[in-house]
A and B are shown apart, each in its own frame.
Chain A
Amino acid sequence: KKAKQLSDIPVDIVEKIIGKTTWKDVMSLRQVSRDLRSTVDGINFVFKKVLIIIEKFKATMTIDGHSHVYERQSTIDWDHDLTRNYHSNIKRMFTDLKVLSHLPNLLIDHLHITNNQPGIYEYFESIFIDNGNEDWLHFERFFDNLKQFLTVKSVHIHLTIFLDNYILHSLKPEILEEIELRGDGNDNFDITPFEQYRQAKVYKSSEINYFYRKNHLNHLVQFDVQAMYHHPKDIINLKNEILESEKFHLGRVFWKANTWYENGFDNLEKQLVEFTRKESSEPNCRIYVVEETKKLQIKVTFNSMEIQRIL
């Protein structure tokens, strides 16, 4: 049989060719013909790493080494014009991700989003964060249409801007296993306990001061979070939550606004039941082994606690 065109070639060979192209090409190939689209849709695309860098004047998305820059030059040097371009870059990038998500077997192992320059928030976000600003509403509406579409296993969001909620919302909760947040863009998380949080197994966050207090962590296998304040009763609550948890393995909380002194430790010890205190060589550190429904070890210092399940 003679192969006159691409459709005469066995599908597994066409898949090998497509496997050597970039994610941008995959998007184009899907629009070439029905045959090609069904071939493309039959491939299991696993992208190892998607890296997104959001900067003032451009956004860059790199998928397994292939980058695309979303950039639009401003014609006028007005703040709202710059803001619009900034939005536009992010929107066009997420539009591409949305297009990629039409691949039925797409899986992204790791999504990393960062903004290299701190301070974007003050520059742009302050302009539209206030309610009623048309640009901001437009941007919000855009992300409202992007809920839970992207299959990502682990996400690291290192931003100092207010995009975190939108990004987390855009990920499919049933696929997401690990969330890591850094940067002060996510202070409002305490009032938005997403499905994504409930499904993930591992959760890490630093520089987020309020999340911990209002969100239960007992569904997690592992967590590593920062809180603003932390009191003995918080540790007791957390311990009780964890005693009910099936999956919990290891958790850490750091806090920064209230350093503990002796009375803090004593207060905690008063509230603990069925425990043994272990000797610790570190100063300002106490270790307790709790044996209730489960065996847990709690290590407390003046500004941190670590709780671990002992098997």
Chain B
Amino acid sequence: MSCEEPTTSPTPENNITVVSSDGKEFLLDLKLTEQSETLARLISNFEYDRTDVKKDPVPLGNITSAQMQKIIEWLQHHRYYPKWEQNDIHYSTSFTFETWVEEYLNIPNNEMFELLNAANYLNIPRLFSTICRIMASRITGKSAEQIRTVLNIKTDVKNDVYTGIPIQEDSSSSEDGMSEISLSPSPPPI
């Protein structure tokens, strides 16, 4: 194990097979699975890291082959990264990303949400946190209307939550007069 080359193609000894929801099989290097807490726990439970144990393919019913492909791309890129530190506050609140990450996550919202779900299911903290930050960075600094556009949400809020005034294009230009109206003692009923 210790003398394996980074470019070694997977062999039955150092990899497992995962099966996506649409039945496609992927050979996955054991080294890569360390980044996924779900897979790592599974491998350790079934002792799949031992060469003398027969490895059954692992079904991943929640993940499509396209998503699996995308996730493997992530795992391979981060193969030699240090272990993810959960409490790195500085990192986890920053909105700057590696160029590679920005390109990797330059995908439509629906794919992003699916990838987020997959990252959550497989418990890949670095990927999960990065997607959360990317999503947050797309929201930050925007008005409600702009967020609706970014997230593709149709509003079901007829009136402004605070002023009771019908929502207009952009309510960020709050003029002095507004503050008088908006200070009702309790929020208007929804």
Interface residues of A (CB under 8 A from B): 1-10, 13, 16-22, 24-25, 28-37, 88, 91-92, 95, 98-99, 102, 142, 145-146
Q: Which residues of A contact B142 (CB under 8 A)?
A: 25, 28
Contact, CB under 8 Å: B153 / A95 = no
**A147→B180 CA distance, assembly (Å):** 14
Cβ–Cβ contact A28 & B143, under 8 A? yes
Whether A20 lies near B144 (C-beta < 8 A) is: no
Contacts of B183 in A (CB 8 A): 95, 98, 142, 145-146
B161 & A30 in contact (Cβ 8 Å cutoff): yes
- Interface pairs A-B: 5 shortest CB-CB: A31-B144, A20-B136, A3-B113, A145-B183, A95-B179
Residue of A nearest to B153 (CB): A33
Q: How many A-B residue pairs have CB under 8 A?
A: 118
Tell yes or no: B160 within 8 A of A by CB: yes
SS of A interface (majority): helix
Query: Do B113 and A21 touch across chains, with their CB atoms under 8 A apart?
Result: no
The 8 Å CB contact of B174, one of A24, A95, A146, is A95
Chain B 80-98 per-residue mask, 1 if CB under 8 angstroms from chain A, else 0: 0000000000001100000
B 147-190 binary contact with A (CB < 8 Å = 1; else 0): 11001111111001110000100010010101110110101001
- Apart from A5-B113, A7-B153, 11 more pairs, CB < 8 Å: A2-B114, A6-B113, A8-B113, A17-B136, A20-B133, A20-B135, A25-B142, A28-B139, A28-B144, A95-B183, A98-B183
Known contacts being A5-B113, A31-B160, A142-B183, is A16 close to B153, with CB within 8 Å? Answer: no
Query: Chain A residues near B156 (CB, 8 Å)?
Result: 33-35
Distance of A18 Cα from B175 Cα, bound (Å): 27
Q: How far apart sit A35 and B109, CA to CA, in the bound complex (Å)?
A: 18
If the complex has contacts A29-B144, A95-B174, are A37 and B109 also in contact, measured as CB distance less than 8 A?
A: no
Would you give 26 A-B contacts (Cβ < 8 Å), ordered by A? A2-B110, A2-B114, A3-B114, A3-B117, A4-B110, A5-B110, A5-B113, A13-B120, A17-B135, A20-B92, A20-B132, A25-B142, A28-B142, A28-B143, A28-B144, A28-B147, A30-B161, A32-B153, A32-B155, A33-B156, A34-B157, A36-B153, A91-B176, A92-B176, A95-B183, A102-B187
Contact between chains at A99 and B179 (CB < 8 Å): no
Known: A25-B142, A28-B142, A34-B190. A9 touches B117 (CB 8 A): yes
Interface residues of B (CB under 8 A from A): 62, 92-93, 109-110, 113-114, 116-117, 120, 132-133, 135-136, 139-144, 147-148, 151-157, 160-162, 167, 171, 174, 176, 178-180, 182-183, 185, 187, 190
**Distance between A188 CB and nearest chain B CB, rounded to angstroms:** 24
What is the distance, in angstroms, from A147's C-beta to the closest C-beta of chain B?
Answer: 8
Contacts of A146 in B (CB 8 A): 183
CA distance A29 to B142 in the complex (A): 9
A37 CA / B156 CA spacing, docked (Å): 11
Kindly provide the distance from the CB of B93 to the nearest chain A CB, expressed in whole angstroms: 6
> What chain B residues lie within 8 Å of A36 (beta carbons)?
153
| Whole-angstrom CA separation of A8 from B111 in the bound complex | 12
Q: Are A25 and B187 in contact (CB under 8 A)?
A: no
Check if B179 sits within 8 Å of A31, measured CB to CB: no
A5 to B109, CA, bound (A): 7
Given contacts A17-B132, A33-B157, contact A91 B179 (CB under 8 A): yes
A1, A7, A17, A99: which contacts B162 (Cβ < 8 A)?
Answer: A99
A67 to chain B, nearest CB (A): 12
Instruction: Point out which of A18, A19, A31, A95 has the most chain B C-beta atoms below 10 A from its C-beta.
Output: A31
CB < 8 Å neighbour of A6 from B153, B162, B167, B180? B153
B118 to chain A, nearest CB (A): 9
Decide: B113 and A29 in contact? CB cutoff 8 A.
Answer: no
| A33–B155 CB distance below 8 A | yes
Asked, given contacts A13-B116, A34-B190, whether A6 binds B151 with beta carbons under 8 Å apart, the answer is: yes
By the criterion CB–CB under 8 Å, are B182 and A32 in contact? no
| Contact, CB under 8 Å: B136 / A21 | yes
Q: Is the CB of A37 within 8 A of B157?
A: yes
A5 near B152: Cβ-Cβ < 8 Å: yes
A107 to chain B, nearest CB (A): 18
Docked Cα-Cα span, A13 to B136, in Å, equals 12
Tell me if A25 and B140 are in contact (CB < 8 A).
yes
- A16, B132: Cβ atoms under 8 Å? yes
